[in-house]
Amino acid sequence: MSGPILVFDSGIGGLSVMNEIRKQLPQHNYCYLFDNARLPYGNLSEQELIVGCVALITHHARRLNASIVVVACNTASTLVLPLLRQQLTVPIVGVVPAIKPAAMLSIKKHIGLLATPGTVKRDYTQALINQFAGDCKVELFGTSELVLLAEQYVAQQQIDMDKLNEILAPIAASNIDVLVLGCTHFPMIATEISHYLGGGVTLLDSGEAVAKRVRFLLSKESNGNKQLQACYTKDINEGLKATLVDYGFSDFSLVTITD
């Protein structure tokens, strides 16, 4: 019997991707592994991010006998996928900002990318823009603060709406008509983002595209009892645990690389 689908992120953002995968493959077991001890990834050096992610993911993929690994983090995906594919034999799926569909959808040919500073500055991101959005004006908005606001929201804490509005104000003033949510945390607060920006801005993320890729690579057959396990590198508060229970998680573990 194959092991669970392993979904990895720095925090809770990857749940937005896992939800889309579960719609496509509801009968599979899942392990959601998040490295909240080092959150937010956008503030880490490339080397620190790569070494920590690769060690954590490879160890737990082998421990769980994972059937596939989904790196549900844009920042990590721009850096760690080649190394993971060298060390693991199971399929590795990453996420990339939805630049291509945004460029195709935009009427104004004026789009925005909202992501962590790390994703915004990567050569990988610029290559996507050059390849798929050459006919568009592309505005880049980098923020790590929004990651933390999304974490607070999912942990059932009151978020600072003034800070949220401050982050979104430059986007509202930019006159774009499509905004790419280039961090998997941001779909968790898409309603709040859309409310501020208004109906004239369409939000896009990569969750559904990732789910389709995972479904293509895996069988739809059941591989267990539909268990959902959450593993994290730093203790979580009761609000976040309650949210995870609402998502269907019943198994919780504080882990390290050597567990």
Residues annotated in the binding site, as ranges?
9-10, 41-42, 74-75, 184-185
Confidence at residue 257, expressed as pLDDT on a 0 to 100 scale: 75
Same domain, 110 and 34: no
Q: Is the peptide bond before 40 cis (omega within 30 degrees of 0)?
A: yes
pTM for the predicted model, two decimal places: 0.93
Residue 205: CA atoms inside 13 Å, Cβ hemisphere, count?
Answer: 26
Can you give the pLDDT of all 259 residues of the chain as single tens digits?
Answer: 479 999 999 999 999 999 999 999 998 999 999 999 998 887 788 999 999 999 999 999 999 999 999 999 998 998 999 999 999 999 999 999 999 999 999 999 999 999 999 899 989 999 999 999 999 999 999 999 999 999 999 999 999 999 999 999 999 999 999 999 999 999 999 999 999 999 999 999 999 999 999 999 986 665 556 789 999 999 999 999 999 999 999 999 999 876 6
- Alpha-carbon span 140 to 120, nearest angstrom: 7
Neighbours of 107 (CB within 10 A): 8
Q: What is the DSSP letter of 170?
A: H
Which amino acid, one-letter code, is at 10? S
* 123, 161: one domain: yes
Q: Same structural domain for residues 107 and 188? A: yes
- String of b and e for 178-187 (b: at least 16 CB within 10 Å)? bbbbbbbbbb
- Examine residue 259 and state whether it is found in any structural domain, yes or no: no
Would you state the pLDDT for residue 259?
Answer: 67
* CATH number for position 178: 3.40.50.1860
- Can you tell me the distance from the alpha carbon of 155 to that of 173, in angstroms, rounded to the nearest whole number? 30
| Angle CA 30–34–38, to nearest 5 | 170
- The answer as to whether 86 is a domain residue is yes
Q: Are residues 119 and 181 in the same domain?
A: yes
* Shared-domain flag, residues 197 and 212: no
Residues 88, 25 share a domain: yes
Residue type, 210: V
**Which of 206, 225, 244 is the last residue before a domain boundary?**
206
| Domain that residue 117 falls in | 99-206
Q: Single out the catalytic residue among 31, 53, 136, 183.
A: 183
Q: Give dist(CA 220, CA 190) in Å, integer.
A: 29
Cβ(21)–Cβ(13) below 8 Å: no
Residue 14 shares a structural domain with residue 77:
yes
* Number of domains, the chain: 2
Binding residues for substrate: 9-10, 41-42, 74-75, 184-185
Residue 78 shares a structural domain with residue 132: no
Q: According to the model, what pLDDT value does residue 224 have?
A: 57
Whether 90 and 111 map to the same domain: the answer is: no
C-alpha to C-alpha distance for 55 and 87, rounded to whole angstroms = 10
* Residue 215 belongs to some domain of the structure: yes
Q: Please check whether residues 228 and 198 belong to one and the same domain.
A: no
My answer on whether 148 and 230 are in the same domain is no
Residue 196 placed within a domain = yes
Residue from 31, 53, 73, 136 carrying the catalytic annotation: 73
> What's residue 4's pLDDT?
94
DSSP 65: T
Q: Catalytic residue at 73?
A: yes
Q: State whether 70 and 114 are in the same domain.
A: no
User: Does a structural domain hold residue 136?
Assistant: yes
CA distance 206 to 155: 23
